[in-house]
Structure 1
Amino acid sequence: MKDKLIHLYKQAIAEVKKLQAKLAARVAANTNEIHRSYWSLPPETRARLRLVIICVSILMLGIVIGLFVNVNRPVKLEKSDKVLKVESNGAMELKLPGIELNPNIYVFQDATLVTVPVELKVPGRLAFNAEKSKVLSARAPGRVERIYAFDGAAVEVGSPVIELYSPEFISAQQEYLLSSKTARVLQHNQTMTDLLGDAQITQQAAANRMRNLGASDGDIRALDRSGKTQSNLIMHSPLEGVVVKRAVEPGAVVNAGDVLVTLANPKELWFLGNIFEQDIRKIQKGQTMILRSESYPDKEFVATANYIAPTIDPETHALLIRCDVENPDGLLRPDMYVSARLKTAEAEAVVVPQSAIVRVREMRYAIIKTGKDSYRRFVVKGYDLDGKRFAITEGIEPGMKVLTDGAVLLNDRFAKQEE
């Protein structure tokens, strides 16, 4: 029996060797066929095939490495001791056990009541004072010969602005000279007093005609002394200021009534503000307002109400108010947007720096310290005082410790805990 088993074992080994030989021969044949097929391909195709084999090999290597690496290892989460409590009125209380705020960053101050003005905000813009502005226009047809002062040029009273050639001005001068000579001749003839009166009337009418055309009294006296007419009329500035706008060029032909230049004094301005309907009763003529401009945040300008419109603008539903502005240094400019404040009453409020107020959308919040490691944030009401301070009229009680510096940083902790 033993010999029979040995014989069967040897036969099995022989069969296995035959199968191995056949398999090796077939593999060799297939390998040679693959080699021949590969090298028969174009070079570009062989390059793409090599790239695919490399990518598949890298992918398989990554899968094998991933099987041996435990990516689902447990993560230890530390439990936070911070506690946020939200009250029914929307106030939030935050506790930070064991956390001490840096006093150099987070500054608290005791809330105290002080008397502050209740002010009405009036938005508006600046404009030239129309009562102190002048327009030089042509009094008769003519031609612009010369312009002495262009846009932005400073002028004094009597400074030459524009020189015009006007036939009517020449005719008016000749009429004046003729009437003057006639009057002087008749003055030496005592028997013709009636004619002398008529001549003097004609002389005065000619002088008035020259004035109407734009000549000054100095021009008339110079004509009387020299006895010679001037071919051109020089128009002088009637005020001290600047040339705001020039409407003509040298050589332009103008007609009677055409605007030549606009003059204004930049130190004489108006404030044009809008009062909303609910605040109309608070404004009166003669009241003093304080103007502030973003161009000069540290300066205040005084304005006095001199006009209140009789009707409300149907488009804006606002009442126009006009004020005379004190601008001695000429810092303000026309068409600047400014904000006016009108004191209407006084009230008690807690005054804090603007840095103590946290603005979230339309709400304003303040943060106070309620304990060693607890803080409370809630809505406050009030108004801006001067751009640097905020008057809290509701929400803060005297004695509370208000966070004045670092409120935005601490509010971030409230926001994170709220999420």
Structure 2
Amino acid sequence: MKEKITRLLDKVKQHLLKLLAHVLHKVNEKKTTFVAAYWALKFETRARIRLGFTCFSVLLIGIIIGLIFNVNRPIKLEKSDRSLRIEKTGAMEITLTGITLDPNIYIFQNAEKVSVPVEIKVPGRLAFNAEKSKVLSARAPGRVERIYAFDGASINVGSPVIELYSPEYISAQQEYLLSSKTAQILQSNKSMGDLLGDAQITQQAAANRMRNLGASDGDIKALERSGKSQNNLIMHSPIEGVVVKRAVDPGAVVSAGDVMATLADPKALWFLGNIFEQDIRRIQKGQTLILRSEAYPDKEFIAKANYIAPAIDPETRTLLIRCDVENIDGLLRSDMYISAKLQTGTADAVVLPQSAIVRVREMRYVIIRTGADKFRRFAVSGYDLDGKRFAVTEGIEPGMQVLTDGAVLLNDRFAKQEE
């Protein structure tokens, strides 16, 4: 090919030389005519002609010199250093000829398969255990006289929470005292046994009415001992825990059924998780879940699944799963967002540090060494174990030399060669 181009340029050069010689010959023949006509022109016109002829001569001489001296000059073609090979599967192999990777930066590890747990992720949140939570509500119209325990206050069983003035409670006390005195009088007169029974029934009904209004058995016994009614009803806590929310202030007027305070046990929580449809077949009651919170990234909380909803939530398209969570240390809080993992079995996988995984969009890649200066990048599949390790279930075979440190740096070279 190079010889053909050289011969073609020689022919063009010879043709131009012949053409130049012919032009000069014609000019010599008509020299006298041209000279006479030239000197007959004006001075300005002769200057323009000389300038045009000079420019044309310089251009022509440059072309001739270029043809003479550049035809046979060797052209240096730089050899491309592109050394990337792309396979049909999408895997890439690169050859780094003459380049030695720094062993302090690029660290390789022999792949070994081990047994790892197969887990599914369960996002959710914490809530107070409803079975151990109580709501204090007004059982009769009245007015709040005093609040003993405000929001966040710790309470024990029987601790006073709210003091309420209620005319109905005063009426129930008076009814109980009247029936109690009547029963005592009739009890001393044996001839009125039938009336005594009715009086005792009335006394028991008055005691039940007091209980329905919020009085305790201790309040009833104190009333019977003192014989004097109390103006206000003190509402006591039925559980040990804290006041989660207070809904009234001192002096507030309440109606029957109004919520006045919410009580809960902060040591007994529920985890409410969401199971996606594709994972429903893997769950069952009694399974152990490992909970993690962003507030305590290095701490794990153990929970047992005790409830699985009978229907899927139509809005989230997930199934609710509930677990009891013991919060003995008090670290967790209600409404915390929690990520849980549910172990459903085991599988064989190659466990690698997260630094070995190259993430490109939704794909996961690893780089292995196939020769002294050859490296291969290909896609793998698997899942995160604990945020620090990645379990590769497909793509890596035992014995492969996997790049665990410096994978991102070497991947940049793959990307540059691919461009």
TM-score, reference length from structure 2: 0.78
Contact 1:81 1:96 in 2 (8 A): no
Partner of 1:341: 341
Residue 281 of structure 2 aligns with which residue? 281
Q: Is the 8 A contact 1:244 1:264 kept in 2?
A: yes
CA contact (8 A) 1:81 1:97 kept: no
CA distance in 2, matches of 1:250, 1:101: 76
Asked if structure 2 preserves the Cα contact closer than 8 Å seen for 1:270 and 1:324, the reply is yes
Measured after TM superposition, the shift of residue 96 of structure 1 is: 2.5
Tell me the equivalent position of 1:145: 145
Paired with 1:318 and 1:301, the residues of 2 have a C-alpha distance of 23
Q: Which amino acid aligns with 1:201?
A: I
Which SS does the other structure have where 2:190 is aligned?
coil
Deviation per residue, 1:87-143 (Å, 9 max, x gap): 221112223333333333322211101011111222222211111111110000000
Q: Tell whether 2:184 aligns with 1:208.
A: no
Q: Deviations over 1:155-208 (max 9, x none)?
A: 111111111111111111111122222222222222222222222222211111
Question: 1:192 is paired with a residue of what secondary structure?
Answer: helix
What is the DSSP-based 3-state SS (H/G/I as helix, E as strand, rest coil) of the residue aligned with 1:380? strand
Relative distance call for 1:414 and 1:226 in structure 2 (3 A) is same
What's the offset of the Cα at 1:213?
A: 0.6
**Retained in 2: the 8 A contact 1:132–1:268?**
yes
Q: How does 1:230-309 map to 2 (within 5 A)?
A: 230-309=230-309
1:143 alignment partner, SS class: strand
Aligned 1:347-366 pairs, distance under 5 A: 347-366=347-366
Name the CA distance, whole Å, in 2 between partners of 1:411 and 1:326.
Answer: 46
Please identify, of 94-103 and 113-122, the stretch whose mean Cα deviation from structure 2 is larger.
Answer: 94-103
| 1:316 shift after superposition | 2.4
For residue 265 of structure 1, report the CA deviation from its aligned partner. Answer: 1.3
Equivalent AA in structure 2 for residue 220 of structure 1: I
Q: Aligned to 2:158, what secondary structure does the other structure show?
A: coil
Is the 1:172–1:206 Cα contact (8 Å) retained in structure 2?
Answer: yes
1:317 equivalent in alignment to 2:317: yes
- Aligned residue-pair number: 344
Tell me which residue corresponds to 1:412: 412
Inter-partner Cα distance in structure 1 for 2:342 and 2:382: 16
CA contact (8 A) 1:82 1:97 kept: no
Is 1:112 aligned with 2:112? yes
Once residues 163 and 169 of structure 1 are traced to their aligned partners in structure 2, the CA distance between those partners, rounded to angstroms, is 12
Alpha-carbon separation, structure 2, partners of 1:257 and 1:337:
32
| Equivalent position amino acid for 2:161 in 1 | V
Q: CA RMSD in A?
A: 2.0
**Is the 8 Å Cα contact of residues 113 and 349 (structure 1) preserved in structure 2?**
yes
Letter of the 2:249 partner, please give it: E
- What's the counterpart of residue 191 of structure 2? 191
Q: Say if 1:213 and 1:78 are closer, same or farther in 2 by CA, change over 3 A.
A: farther
Which ranges in structure 1 are unaligned for 5 or more consecutive residues?
Answer: 1-76
Question: 158-167 or 221-230: which moved more?
Answer: 221-230
In the alignment, the residues of structure 2 paired with residue 157 and residue 415 of structure 1 have an alpha-carbon distance, to the nearest angstrom, of 68
Secondary structure, in 3 states, of the residue corresponding to 1:219? helix
Q: SS state of the match for residue 234, structure 2? A: strand
For 2:344 and 2:326, the matched residues in 1 are separated by 21
1:178 paired with 2:178, answer yes
* Structure 1 residue 162 corresponds to structure 2 residue 162: yes
Compared CA separation, residues 199 and 112, structure 1 to 2 (3 A) = same
CA distance in 1 between partners of 2:153 and 2:412 (Å): 55
Matches within 5 A, 1:123-142: 123-142=123-142
Give the aligned residue type for 2:351: V
Aligned to 1:402: 402
CA deviations over 1:57-108 (Å, ceiling 9, x no partner): xxxxxxxxxxxxxxxxxxxx99885732222211122233333333333222
**Structure 1 contact 151–245 (Cα < 8 Å) conserved:** yes
Structure 1 stretch displaced more, 227-236 or 280-289? 280-289
Deviations 1:29-72 (A, max 9, x none): xxxxxxxxxxxxxxxxxxxxxxxxxxxxxxxxxxxxxxxxxxxx
8 Å contact 1:125–1:271 — kept in the other structure?
yes
Instruction: Please state how far the C-alpha of 1:268 moved relative to its aligned partner.
Output: 1.4
- The residue type equivalent to 1:377 in the other structure is R
Question: CA-to-partner distance for each residue in 1:371-394, whole Å, 9 max, x for gaps?
Answer: 223222111100111222111001
Identity %: 81
2:191 match: secondary structure? coil
Q: Point out the more displaced range, 91-100 or 238-247.
A: 91-100
1:226 is aligned to: 226
227-236 vs 272-281, which deviates more?
272-281
* CA distance in 2 between partners of 1:356 and 1:193 (Å): 93
Matches within 5 A, 1:59-138: 83-138=83-138
1:250 counterpart letter in structure 2: P
Alpha-carbon distance in structure 2 between the residues aligned to 1:99 and 1:112: 28
**Deviation readout 1:235-283 (Å, 9 max, x if unpaired):** 1111111112211111110000001111111221112222222222211
Opposite residue 109 of structure 1, the aligned amino acid is Q
Residue 191 of structure 1: SS of its match in structure 2?
helix
Residues 161-170 or 77-86, more deviating? 77-86
Distance 1:334 1:366 in 2: 41
Structure 2, gaps ≥5 residues long: 1-76
